[in-house]
C-alpha cells in the first residue's frame, strides 16, 4: 500500500496515542538490547526507544513512511538503520533481543497465512530468550466500535470524514477516509482506503505457540488489566 499523502498527515492523526506508555510497557519486561521496530511508520516509537538507550533498527514497507522516519532520525542526530521490508518477510534478519510490532499494524495483514508467517519471521529474528511485543484491535472494536461511523475530526490544519463498513472477512473493516489538509489559504482534499482484520485472542495465542513462542502476558488498553468484552486494544508479550 502506498501512503504518500497519508504519511504526511499521519503524525497529526496519531497525537492521542500514548507512545510513552508503549515504551514503558516494553521496558517493564526488558530495559535494554538490540531492538527491531517492525512497521515503524514515521518512526515515533523507534525514536523514543533509541532515546531510552535501545540499539534500534526500524523497518516498514512504505517508502513514504520511511522517508519521514529518516528525516525524524536525522534531525534528532540518531543513527537508526532503516529497512524497507514487509512484516511477513524480514529477509533473514537475526540477532535481536526484542521485536516490536506496534499500533495495530498487524491488523493490516488480510490473511491468516500472512499473520502466521509474520510470527515465524519474528521468531527467527530474535535471539533465544528474546521478546516479541505487539498489539491488535479487539473484535469488539472492529465489529462494534468502528461500525458507529461516520467519525468527524476537525482541527486547524487537518480535517477528515471517516466512514467504515464491514470487510470481506469475519472481524474485518474497511476504512474510507476523506481528508482536507490546509495548503496555504486553501484546503487540499484526498481520499484513503484502509482494510484491517483481527482475530480472537485464542487464535493469536495458538499461532504464537505454533511459531515456537511462549506467551508471557495478554493485557488490554495500555494497562495491566486482562482483556474483557469492552476492551478495544489487545497487547501481547511473547518470548522465544
Asked if residue 139 lies in contact with residue 107, where contact means CB atoms within 8 angstroms, the answer is no
Q: What is the CATH number of the domain that holds 80?
A: 3.40.50.150
Beta pairing, strands 34-38 & 96-101:
parallel
pLDDT, tens digit, for every residue of 204-238? Answer: 999 999 999 999 999 999 999 999 999 999 999 99
- Among 17, 19, 12, 3, smallest CA distance to 61 is for 3
pLDDT, tens digit, for every residue of 2-60? Answer: 444 555 555 556 667 899 999 999 999 999 999 999 999 999 999 999 999 999 999 99
pTM: 0.93
Q: Are residues 131 and 146 in the same domain?
A: no
Q: Are residues 172 and 95 in the same domain?
A: no
Range with the poorest average pLDDT among 90-94, 146-150, 187-191, 223-227: 187-191
Q: Are residues 222 and 185 in the same domain?
A: no
Q: What is the CA radius of gyration of the chain?
A: 18
pLDDT at res. 14: 61
Q: Are residues 132 and 52 in the same domain?
A: yes
Q: Are residues 27 and 106 in the same domain?
A: yes
Please identify, among 179, 196, 213, the residue that sits at the C-terminal boundary of a domain: 196
Q: What is the CATH number of the domain that holds 163?
A: 2.20.25.110
Beta bridge partners of 101: 38, 134
Q: Are residues 102 and 208 in the same domain?
A: yes
- Among 135, 173, 123, smallest CA distance to 151 is for 173
pLDDT at res. 1: 43
Containing domain of residue 99, as a range?
4-137+199-239
Range with the poorest average pLDDT among 108-122, 137-151, 170-184: 170-184
Domains identified in the chain, total number: 2
pLDDT, tens digit, for every residue of 105-124? Answer: 999 999 999 999 999 999 99
pLDDT band at 172, cuts 50/70/90? very high
Amino acid at each position: 500500500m502506498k501512503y504518500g499523502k497519508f504519511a504526511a498527515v499521519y503524525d497529526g492523526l496519531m497525537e492521542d496515542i500514548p507512545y510513552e506508555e508503549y515504551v514503558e510497557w516494553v521496558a517493564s519486561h526488558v530495559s535494554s538490547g538490540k531492538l527491531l521496530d517492525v512497521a515503524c511508520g514515521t518512526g515515533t516509537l523507534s525514536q523514543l526507544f533509541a532515546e531510552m538507550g535501545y540499539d534500534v533498527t526500524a523497518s516498514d514497507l512504505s517508502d513514504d513512511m520511511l522517508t519521514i522516519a529518516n528525516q525524524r532520525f536525522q534531525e534528532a542526530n540518531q543513527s537508526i538503520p532503516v529497512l524497507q521490508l514487509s512484516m511477513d518477510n524480514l529477509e533473514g534478519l537475526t540477532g535481536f533481543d526484542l521485536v516490536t510490532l506496534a499500533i495495530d499494524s498487524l491488523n493490516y495483514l488480510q490473511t491468516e497465512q500472512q499473520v502466521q508467517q509474520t510470527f515465524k519471521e519474528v521468531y527467527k529474528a530474535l535471539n533465544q530468550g528474546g521478546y516479541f511485543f505487539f498489539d491488535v484491535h479487539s473484535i469488539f472494536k472492529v465489529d462494534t466500535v468502528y461500525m458507529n461511523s461516520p467519525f468527524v475530526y476537525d482541527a486547524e490544519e487537518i480535517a477528515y470524514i471517516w466512514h467504515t463498513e464491514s470487510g470481506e472477512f469475519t472481524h474485518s473493516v474497511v476504512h474510507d477516509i476523506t481528508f482536507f489538509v490546509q495548503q496555504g489559504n486553501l484546503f487540499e482534499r484526498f481520499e484513503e482506503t484502509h482494510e484491517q482484520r483481527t482475530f480472537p485472542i485464542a487464535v493469536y495465542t495458538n499461532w504464537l505457540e505454533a511459531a515456537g513462542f511462549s506467551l508471557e502476558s495478554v493485557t488490554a488498553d495500555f494497562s495491566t488489566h486482562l482483556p474483557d468484552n469492552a476492551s478495544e486494544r489487545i497487547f501481547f508479550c511473547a518470548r522465544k
